[in-house]
Structure 1
Amino acid sequence: MTTSADRGTIPRRALVGVFGGLFCGYVGLTAAIPVLPGFVRESFGATDFAIGLVVMATALTALLVRPVAGHLADRYGHRRVMQMGALIVAAGGALYFLPLGLAGLVADRLLLGVGEASLFTAGAVWTVSLAPHHRRGQLIGLYGVSMWGGISVGTFLGAALLPAGYGAVWGFSVAAALAGLLLISSVPGPSHAGQPSGGGGLLLRPALLPGAALALAAAGYAGLAAFVVLHLQARGIHSGVAVLSGFSAVYGGTRLVIGHLPDRLGPRRVAIWSGIGEAVGLLIIALAPNLPVAVFGGLVMGVGFSLLHPSLALMVMNLTDSSKQGAAIGAYTSFWDLGLAVWGPLIGVVATGFGYPAVFVVGAVCAAAAVAVALCVRQPSEQPAAAG
């Protein structure tokens, strides 16, 4: 049967279901984030460590489950695994209503991490399977915009619903995830994405170098998110949150406007320039004498960082057999979780020992290292362009 990808056209109705399902799933997943710290403190009198554990528990299981979810999507179909992810997110929201205690709440958050990993990973490879070959990188980027949009809307609406009580937030989380399930189910899916051909494990070789580059690039984002406001305050510059806002806006806007560049120019070439852009933006922030310069640095970093992930993901796809792309993209995405888990505390050590500007210098060095790693990834599809 001829598919839209074979014809070179974009199946817009199908992508509405996949992107919309991801968006709604992340709205449901993140609506609880802004209210969980207060809930844990009020309900259990918990320490800051316990609050951090509850909020971040999803990252642990997401890190471990992404390659497994991708493997299952390859074997049993992307639609089915994505539906399972949305169902788990809805079930996790419903479990908030039960008096499970602190340990039970942590277990529920771990379960939600399984749902997040299944939802995102299966949908990512499904998007690639629906996309024309020359638009894969662009659609991977837009898929990420759907995720970040869901996170932004979910956290905003969760905080807005808090005056109505925690139950309103939990109920909204369930409803949003079920809406995502309906959108996903509205898209016809192939019976199987393909049977895996042989072994190879879950951590596939094509994902290793691009994944390592992504983990290195995560250092800059971790530093920006955690310390840009404190860095600017130490210099007597207020409203440092404007740097984060500018970064976020240009991050999404870049993918909307020039998200086709990895397909058009080649993913390795764009990954190299993206890593350089991230490094330059971080150095500008490190040296910024005032807010406008710092905001400009955030914009430069945002443009570069925005196209880095889809470029590296496309490199993974180009090197992976179609029957194993789910496992490969799951393994690749896990490096982002790993990078944040490692760089979060390490960047804090750098800030304590060497000061806030060093945080951004280290991030820039790591971005440059990500470029060096990307240069080591051979992309056969780019050979003709290099020869010309």
Structure 2
Amino acid sequence: MDASAEGSRIPRLALFGVFGGLFCGYLGLTAAIPVLPGFVRERFGAGDLAVGLVVTATALTALLVRPVSGHLADRYGHRRVMSTGALLVAAGGLLYFLPLGLGGLVAVRLLVGVGEASLFTAGAVWVVSLAPHERRGQLIGLYGVSMWGGISAGTFLGATLLNLGYGAVWGFTTAAALLGLLLILSVPAAPRTGRPTAQTPAAQTPGDGGERPGRWQTLLPRPALLPGLALALASAGYAGVAAFVVLHLQARGTGSGVVALSVFSAVYAGTRLVIGHLPDRLGARRVATWSGVGEAAGLAIIALAPNLPVAVIGSVVMGVGFSLLHPSLALMVMDRADPSAQGAALGAYTSFWDLGLSVWGPLIGVVAAVFGYPAVFVAGACCALGAVAVALSVRPPDTEPAAVSRVRSTS
């Protein structure tokens, strides 16, 4: 009993350092976002194309670097790669001060994207390695809450600090990332123990006579493909809500559409805090299925909403479903990946989120222009159901979490 209790204990101080490092890193990352458009126009006299390039350049390198960062974390250690990411974000803050020109600013943003990918991916796998096996899904979800908290606070503080000048924003970006670096370095880089972090089918574990994976399989492991595809499909609904829910409700005669977006964000975070343990308890595949259905239902309600209260109900339903979808799919990846390659697998899986937003961003704009705003949410609902179909096609692992076995044995 003592051994079981010890195995279920959460290393709170270590997780505080990892979660805090992620929060501060994203605090610094996103403080520049609301400031950069005006900076580009004022300093360089550039137009919307240049503004879009500067703001979104980080997504390009993050998309490409996440699997590499995960692979490096597997090989050289989570703390080393995560702290390198925080250091690159801080370096980006310092480089904003320099008169590098528009091309130099784009290069800085590409560098910051490398830092973001390294910070998030290495930390995510680190959390899994620190978590008790039956709490991995819950802590993956809380890790995401730390990221979104940093994003929300960072954008607000960046816009507020602009009143003191661009230098205040750049200085805050640097200081926040350096604080994150200190928090990360406060966590001991303990060697891996014999405790497995995932139950991996023997067929997926390289054996003595097994075939070594090629380079592309190292950076894009097979366990990440189907859950990643499901995540990319599910991202269509989020892209639609973020871009068009306010305009959709304005067209319906409601001028407070931002309320629906705010409710979605609050429910998204609150769901992970309150019921984030469900993927561990009920099984990742089952929760991913119901989460995708919930996202689709919420989007359908928003599409048909005649007024703000109905749209808010849709935001609540979608927020609950979409909140648990990512940790459930991530847990499916971890359950199928070899423990020595979990960083690369999780990095590749997360890249599908960036890929999905990159694809759906332009496409939903076309859908809105051709078919109208309600069609955006209908299309998102169809994609969410497609994500459910993909998640159901993933073969269950040979061994289940103990919690799932207990639930089934008592039912």
What TM bracket, shorter-length normalisation?
Answer: over 0.9
2:98 aligned counterpart, secondary structure: coil
Preserved CA contact (<8 Å) 1:134 1:264: yes
Residues 264-343 of structure 1 mapped to structure 2, 5 A cutoff? 264-343=281-360
Identity rate of aligned residues, in percent?
A: 79
Distance apart, 1:193 and its partner CA: 9.4
Residues 186-335 of structure 1 mapped to structure 2, 5 A cutoff? 186-191=186-191, 198-199=212-213, 200-335=217-352
Distance apart, 1:201 and its partner CA: 2.0
Preserved CA contact (<8 Å) 1:76 1:191: no
Residues 98-247 of structure 1 mapped to structure 2, 5 A cutoff? 98-191=98-191, 198-199=212-213, 200-247=217-264
Cα deviations by residue, 1:247-300 (Å, 9 ceiling, x for unpaired)? 000000000000000000000000000000000000000000100000110111
Cα deviations by residue, 1:207-254 (Å, 9 ceiling, x for unpaired)? 000000000000000000000111111111111000110000000000
- Unaligned runs of 5+ residues in structure 1 are none
Cα deviations by residue, 1:13-58 (Å, 9 ceiling, x for unpaired)? 0000000000000000000000100000000011101100100000
Q: Which of 358, 364, 372 is the aligned partner of 2:375? A: 358
The whole-number CA distance in structure 2 between the counterparts of 1:321 and 1:297 is 39
Preserved CA contact (<8 Å) 1:78 1:193: no
1:97 maps to: 97
2:209 maps to: none
The whole-number CA distance in structure 2 between the counterparts of 1:98 and 1:61 is 22
Preserved CA contact (<8 Å) 1:5 1:131: no
Residues 299/179 of structure 1: CA separation in 2 closer, same or farther (3 Å cut): same
**Paired residue type of 2:238:** Y
The whole-number CA distance in structure 1 between the counterparts of 2:56 and 2:83 is 23
Distance apart, 1:8 and its partner CA: 1.7
Distance apart, 1:7 and its partner CA: 1.8
1:19 maps to: 19
The whole-number CA distance in structure 1 between the counterparts of 2:285 and 2:266 is 24
The whole-number CA distance in structure 1 between the counterparts of 2:280 and 2:152 is 27
Q: Which moved more, 1:307-316 or 1:233-242?
A: 233-242
**Paired residue type of 2:389:** A
1:69 maps to: 69
The whole-number CA distance in structure 1 between the counterparts of 2:160 and 2:168 is 10
Q: How many residues align?
A: 385
Q: Which of 324, 330, 344 is the aligned partner of 2:361? A: 344
Preserved CA contact (<8 Å) 1:6 1:132: no
Preserved CA contact (<8 Å) 2:284 2:331: yes
1:218 aligned counterpart, secondary structure: helix
Preserved CA contact (<8 Å) 2:71 2:218: no
The whole-number CA distance in structure 2 between the counterparts of 1:27 and 1:193 is 32
1:37 maps to: 37
**Alignment TM-score, normalising by the size of structure 1:** 0.96
The whole-number CA distance in structure 2 between the counterparts of 1:123 and 1:21 is 9
CA-based RMSD: 1.8
Give 4+ residue runs of structure 1 displaced > 4 Å after superposition.
Answer: 3-6, 191-194, 382-388
Cα deviations by residue, 1:152-197 (Å, 9 ceiling, x for unpaired)? 0100000010010000000000000000000000000135799x96
The whole-number CA distance in structure 2 between the counterparts of 1:191 and 1:12 is 18
**Paired residue type of 1:315:** M
1:201 aligned counterpart, secondary structure: helix
The whole-number CA distance in structure 2 between the counterparts of 1:125 and 1:93 is 26
Preserved CA contact (<8 Å) 1:4 1:130: no
**Paired residue type of 2:314:** G
The whole-number CA distance in structure 2 between the counterparts of 1:70 and 1:6 is 28
**Paired residue type of 2:290:** W
1:370 maps to: 387
Residues 71/240 of structure 1: CA separation in 2 closer, same or farther (3 Å cut): same
Residues 386/192 of structure 1: CA separation in 2 closer, same or farther (3 Å cut): closer
**Paired residue type of 1:33:** I
The whole-number CA distance in structure 1 between the counterparts of 2:72 and 2:389 is 32
Distance apart, 1:379 and its partner CA: 1.8
1:39 aligned counterpart, secondary structure: helix
